[in-house]
Chain A
Amino acid sequence: MSDSLVPIATHPETENTTTRRAFLGAAAVAGICYAGSLGYPIYEYLASPAEMAANETAVTEVTLKAAHTLEPGSALMFKFGSSPALLIHASDNTWVAFSAVCTHLGCTVEFQPEQNRIHCACHGGIYDPRTGKNIGGPPPRPLTSYKVDLVPDGVTVSRA
């Protein structure tokens, strides 16, 4: 009589482990999807300003109204996309524009006409005001330079 009570399944153990593994796998995938669908909106929400800044960086051209009246030997700070930039009207009447972000650690640089240099006050970096080349102090690279065009009512600065 006791023989009839033996389970019919031939390999119960292997079957159990596969189904358990499959279940745990599916549960893990579902859990990751769930956490992802909660986390994605939160990530995007927090990343919004960074994305907006990235869109601003995509700017390729800025027209500065009335900038053509800038005196020779002086400079003007302006925003190129999201970062500061420097327009210089040199005493020899040439026009140049650079990114004003120091290539060392990102401080904003300053044009100093009396010393004829671009200077970074943070760590004493010095750049050539005609080319933007790094000529003193810690900066590893020249300043990014932009193309300058004089237009009837101002100055247009564009990515070189």
Chain B
Amino acid sequence: MASSLYEWIDERLGVTEAIAFARHKMVPVHAQSFWYYWGGISLFLFLVQIFTGILLLVYYRPGADAFESVRQITYVMHFGWLIRSAHSWSANLFIFAILVHMFSVYFMKAYRRPREVGWITGIGLLFLAAAFGFSGYLLPMDELSYFATKVGLGIPASLPVIGGPIATMLRGGPDVSQFTVQRFFALHVVVLPLLFLPLLGVHLWLVQKHGNAMPPSEEGKPVSARKTVPFFPNFMQKDLAMWLISLNILALLASVFPWDLGKQADALSPAPAGIHPEWYFMAPFHMLKILGNWLPGATGEVIGILLFTAGLGLWVVIPFYDAEHTTGRRSRFAHYFGLFAVASLILTTALGYWGIR
């Protein structure tokens, strides 16, 4: 009975082929295998984002009513505080997991030929995640989100000629208002998912196509000395275990440290003391601040934006610079560039938090 049902399904969906493919797919086992889980963890947290986001969508009202609806979710609806907290916490963990994934890919040189497109789509996904974070941060329309958005949109506004119109277009007017919430909402729940999902599809397809990259230390070993496990079921079991651990950490954080809702945003009240961007925007924010102190007026901001964009540009094209599977000068330079990037991000983030302490 069960086997004839399986045959019926298999004949139509090709389950056996899919399982055979998954069994055939091998995952390398070595000292750095731990880092292989972080792409999967990012994917899992993205799924949590979709799920909790849909739940919030059940009661959230963009526009003039935004703060009131979030207040209702947080204080009136049963467990609304938990759903909202889980959405905010998983958003932060999501960005954290992506960053870990990206830097582990970088230092394991998993961007090298033929994985250049995987690297570029991954960075695209990181940018979209940051845009999700920035747009989602405004939606509650409390004091912090209001001023964070004001400051954040002030950065493109400092660019000459094109800056002003860009910022006005993003805000839907000269200042952050209910129109800004409405369009950020459209971005957050429609436009960004429409861009993210196909890009994620390509990214995941490339992982299937090329498999896990081996770090140079493993590539140096003879084939007979390399160890692998099948993706299905061995690696998948561990992947799922990681998902479960992530879910438990998320549940713990979301329930023990519920996400705060501040006072309703008021265009006439001054910015609260110690206002700062989310941690993942702290580094660029602080770099701009440092440059702004050195150079007067908008010059600092413009140079900061240009420097940061140039750095990101180099980061994106690194697979084309360091494409060969050798340990030459280019390989070493890429490695030092990565160390420099990590060090400057950590340092400026720390300085930023030190400044608002």
Contacts and interface: CB of A to CB of B under 8 A. Distances in A.
A42 B58 CA distance: 12
A48 B59 CA distance: 10
B76 A45 contact: no
Contacts of B58: 45-46
Contacts, number: 26
Interface in A38-73: 38, 41-42, 44-48, 51
A48 B55 contact: no
Contact of A47 (B76, B78, B83, B251): B78
Contact of B76 (A38, A42, A46, A48): A48
Nearest to B77: A48
Contacts of B83: 41-42, 45
Determine which residue in A41, A42, A45, A46 has the highest number of CB atoms from chain B within 10 A of its CB, and name it.
A45
B333 interface: no
Interface residues of A, number: 9
A130 to B, nearest CB: 42
Interface string B242-261: 00000000010000000000
Interface in B62-97: 76-80, 82-83
Q: Chain A contact residues: over half helix, strand or loop, or mixed?
A: helix
Contacts of B82: 41, 45
A51 B251 CA distance: 25
A42 B80 CA distance: 9
B82 to A, nearest CB: 5
A47 B76 CA distance: 12
A38 B55 CA distance: 13
B68 to A, nearest CB: 15
Interface in A123-160: none
Nearest to A48: B77
A51 B78 CA distance: 10
Contacts of A51: 78
Contacts of A48: 76-78, 80
Contacts of A46: 55, 58
Contacts of B55: 42, 45-46
Interface string A61-96: 000000000000000000000000000000000000
A44 B55 CA distance: 12
A44 B78 CA distance: 6
Nearest to A37: B251
Nearest to B73: A45
Nearest to B251: A38
Interface in A10-56: 38, 41-42, 44-48, 51
Contacts of B251: 38
Contacts of B80: 45, 48
A115 B77 CA distance: 46
A42 B79 CA distance: 7
Nearest to B80: A45
A73 B328 CA distance: 98
Nearest to B51: A42
Contacts of B77: 45, 48
Contacts of A42: 55, 79, 83
Nearest to A51: B78
Interface in B40-71: 55, 58
Nearest to B79: A41
B46 to A, nearest CB: 18
User: A-B pairs with the 6 shortest C-beta distances?
Assistant: A41-B79, A44-B78, A48-B77, A45-B79, A48-B78, A44-B79
Interface of A: 38, 41-42, 44-48, 51
Given A42-B83, A48-B76, 16 more contacts: A41-B78, A41-B79, A42-B55, A42-B79, A44-B78, A44-B79, A45-B55, A45-B58, A45-B77, A45-B78, A45-B80, A45-B83, A46-B55, A47-B78, A48-B77, A51-B78
18 contacts: A38-B251, A41-B78, A41-B79, A41-B83, A42-B79, A42-B83, A44-B78, A45-B58, A45-B77, A45-B80, A45-B82, A46-B55, A46-B58, A47-B78, A48-B76, A48-B77, A48-B78, A48-B80
